[in-house]
Amino acid sequence: MDKITDNIYKFTKNSNNSYLIKSDVNIIIDGVGEEYADEYINDIAKIVSVKDISYIVINHCEMNRMGTLKAMLEKNRDIKVIATTPALKLIDKYLGFGYNNISVKDGMELLGLKFILTPYINWPDSMVTVYNNILFSCDLFSSTILGPDDYYKSYLSQRPQSVLYAVSQIQKYDISCILTGSGMPIKDNVQGFIDNYKKLADTKNSEVLILYHSVYGNTYNMAKEIENVLAVRKISYQIHDIGSGGYKELAQKIDNAKALILGTDTVNADAPSDLWNIIALTNKVTNKFKPCMLFGTYAWSGEGLYFMEHHLKMLRYNVYDKPFGVVMKMDSNEEKELIECTKKFIDSLG
Ligand SMILES: Cc1cc2nc3c(=O)[nH]c(=O)nc-3n(C[C@H](O)[C@H](O)[C@H](O)COP(=O)(O)O)c2cc1C
């Protein structure tokens, strides 16, 4: 347990922080994992009896943040739970018994607390809480042992737009200290910290990525033809063979691309496993609606192309037309058609 200010205490279990605001009305902000409930409740009882806690704010319902709620309510059924409407739905299901609660609306003020809804940080239920100039930020601005950048990449980078929105809402308040859900309090240069954090999420995609798999050069030839169209049009692009980098590195290139032009051959009735492995590591949220054109060669059945088309559509990429598939090697007509198809795809990007 750490004393943060005259009346705020921090309880940490397994890197997750819960806070107690000790006042006329005692308030807990967030909890820790269920498996630490006994230890956690003992620690709190050293400062204030659980019977004297009136409110528990749950900023986010992930089990590492609210796992101790049930044990707390079992000790004191008068506690009122404060959370967003989507959070209360999850809490209802988790608790399985009736309890007192207050549903939070964005900007609502109560007991000197202000609540800011931060949806998709990193679930739809999330909010943060402001008390005086102190922000209880839950997952936002949190750290692993390696720092906030690492935490951001591991847990929040799937939803950069939600992070930017949350930060813009928080910046309406004068914050002099951030008490995170994981990691140490942030007290120095808070504004600079928030500005740096914004930069993590503020990624702009401007390049088209041509990514292809080719063993004997047939699909490669198509990729080069497509590249030529982009070069002539002075489109900013990168072109990579799937064997040219690690899976993670190439997945990141897809994440960072403005549009994807993906080429594959067919190997034993499927797309090559390397391609599946790369797609598995891509960001499934930010790539939704990403424009994508598919091309490739095959000898008789062509599953590689069609399975990729189906999969990318399921992931909600904006897949252009039908895959441009060619048996073995392009002839001169197919070459012309591929050039036309690429031009139309490029035009569709606006
Ligand atoms: C081991 C192996 C398995 C293949 N399996 C299939 C297959 O199941 N269906 C198909 O249509 N083509 C299959 N092919 C043919 C290739 O997809 C085709 O030759 C393609 O043009 C190769 O393109 P690349 O030179 O870009 O690798 C196979 C080729 C190899 C070498």
pLDDT in the model for residue 122: 87
Q: Which ligand 1 atom lies nearest to the CA of residue 213?
A: 26
How many Å lie between the centroid of ligand 1 and the Cα of residue 337?
22
CATH class name, domain 208-348: alpha beta
Chain centroid offset of residue 199 CA: 15
Q: Which residues contact 134 (CB under 8 A, 6 or more apart)?
A: 5, 8, 175, 176, 177, 178, 179
* Ligand 1 centre distance from Cα of residue 278 (Å): 20
Q: How far apart are CA 48 and CA 139, in angstroms?
A: 26
| Tens digits of residue pLDDT in 184-243 | 999 999 999 999 999 999 977 889 999 999 999 999 999 999 999 999 999 999 999 998
Beta bridge partners of 138: 180
Q: What 3-state DSSP class applies to 282?
A: coil
Q: Do the first three CATH levels of 2-201 and 208-348 match, i.e. the same topology?
A: no
Per-residue DSSP letter, 144: B
SS3 45: helix
Local structure of residue 79 (DSSP, 8 states)? P
CA of 332 to the centre of ligand 1 (A): 21
In 3D space, the residue among 228, 222, 266 whose CA is nearest the CA of residue 241 turns out to be: 222
Residue listed under structure tokens 């080069």: 224
How much is the pLDDT for 73? 98
Q: DSSP letter for 147, please.
A: B
Q: What is the CA radius of gyration of the chain?
A: 26
Q: What is the distance between the alpha carbons of residues 277 and 272, in angstroms, rounded to a whole number?
A: 9
Confidence label for 244 from pLDDT (cuts 50, 70 and 90): confident
Q: Are 225 and 331 in contact (CB under 8 A)?
A: no
Amino acid at the residue 275? L
Mean pLDDT of 39-52: 97
Residue 265 CB less than 6 A away from ligand 1: yes
**pLDDT at residue 246, as a whole number:** 94
Q: Is 299 in the pocket of ligand 1 (CB under 6 A)?
A: yes
Quick one: pLDDT at residue 206? Answer: 87
Condensed to tens digits (0 to 9), the pLDDT of residues 86-107 reads 999 999 999 999 999 999 999 9
Predicted pLDDT of residue 203: 79
Ligand 1 pocket test, pick from 220, 262, 268, 298 with the greatest ligand atom count within 8 Å of Cβ, gives: 298
Cβ of 267 below 6 Å from ligand 1: yes
Domain boundaries, the chain: 2-201, 208-348
- Residue whose token pair is 């009735």: 269
133-173 pLDDT per residue, tens: 999 999 999 999 999 999 999 999 989 989 999 999 999 99
For the domain 2-201, what is the CATH superfamily, name and number?
A: Ribonuclease Z/Hydroxyacylglutathione hydrolase-like (3.60.15.10)
CB 86 within 8 A of CB 125: yes
The minimum-distance atom of ligand 1 relative to the CA of 215 is 27
Question: Of all atoms in ligand 1, which is nearest to the CA of residue 212?
Answer: 26
